[in-house]
Structure 1
Amino acid sequence: MDMVFSFYEGVRRKGPGSEASTLKSLSLLHDLPDLPRIVEFGCGAGVASIPLARSLPCHLSAVDIHQPFLDKLNAVAAREGLADRITTVKADMTNPPFENHSFDLIWSESAIYNVGFEHGLRLWKPLLKPAGYIAVTEAVWLTTEPPHNAKEFWDAEYPLMTTVDENLKRMCTSGFDLVDHFVLPAVDWQNYYGPLQDHVNDFWSNRLADATAQLFADSLQREIDIWKDFGDSFGYCFFIGKASEMSRP
Structure 2
Amino acid sequence: MADPNEPTIEMMFSFFEGLHRKGPGSEASTLKALALLNDMPPNPRVVDFGCGTGAASIPLAQNIDCEITAVEIHQPFLNELDHLAAQVGVGDRIKTLQVDMGKPTFSEDSFDVIWCEAAIYNVGFEHALRIWKPLLRSGGYVSASEVVWLTPEPPRKAREFWEAEYPSMATVDANVSMLSEAGFTPVDHFVLPSSDWEKYYGPLQQHVIDYRSSHADSRAAQSLADSLQEEIDLWKEYGDSFGYCFFVGRAN
Q: Same fold (TM over 0.5)?
A: yes
Q: After superposition, where does 1:76-115 map in structure 2 within 5 Å?
A: 76-115=84-123
Counting aligned pairs with the same residue, the percent is 60
Matched, 1:25 2:33: yes
Q: Which residue of 2 aligns with 1:39?
A: 47
Partner residue, 1:189: 197
Are 1:225 and 2:233 matched, yes or no? Answer: yes
Deviation of residue 115 (structure 1)?
0.6
Corresponding residue for residue 161 of structure 1: 169
Deviation at 1:81, TM superposition (A): 1.4
Instruction: From 159, 165, 175, give the equivalent of 2:183.
Output: 175
Partner of 2:145: 137
Structure-1 separation of matches of 2:91 and 2:53? 14
- Partners of 1:199 and 1:90 lie apart in 2 by 25
What is the RMSD computed on CA atoms of the aligned residues? 0.6
1:194-213 correspondence runs (5 A): 194-213=202-221
Q: Which amino acid aligns with 2:237?
A: D
TM-score (norm 2): 0.96
Residues 107-138 of structure 1, C-alpha deviations (whole Å, 9 max, x = no match): 00001000100000001000000010000000
* Structure-1 separation of matches of 2:226 and 2:29: 29
Aligned length, in residue pairs: 244
Tell me the amino acid that sits aligned with residue 196 of structure 1: L
- Given candidates 40, 51, 74, the residue that maps to 1:66 is 74
Unpaired segments ≥5 residues, structure 1:
245-249
AA in 1 matched with 2:244: Y
**Which residue identity does 2:68 align to in structure 1?**
L
Give a deviation string over 1:55-108, Cα, whole Å, max 9, x none: 011110000001110011101111111111100001000111210001000000
* 1:170-206 Cα shifts (integer Å, max 9, x gaps): 1100100010000000000000001000000011122
**What is the SS of the residue equivalent to 1:93?**
coil
Q: Unaligned stretches of 5+ in structure 2?
A: 1-8
The one-letter code matched in structure 1 to 2:140 is: G
Counterpart-to-counterpart distance in 2, 1:2 and 1:178: 36
Amino acid at match of 2:112: D
| Segments of 4+ moved more than 4 angstroms | none
- Matched residue of 1:30: which SS? coil
Letter in 2 for 1:2: E
Structure 2 distance, partners of 1:154, 1:29, is 31
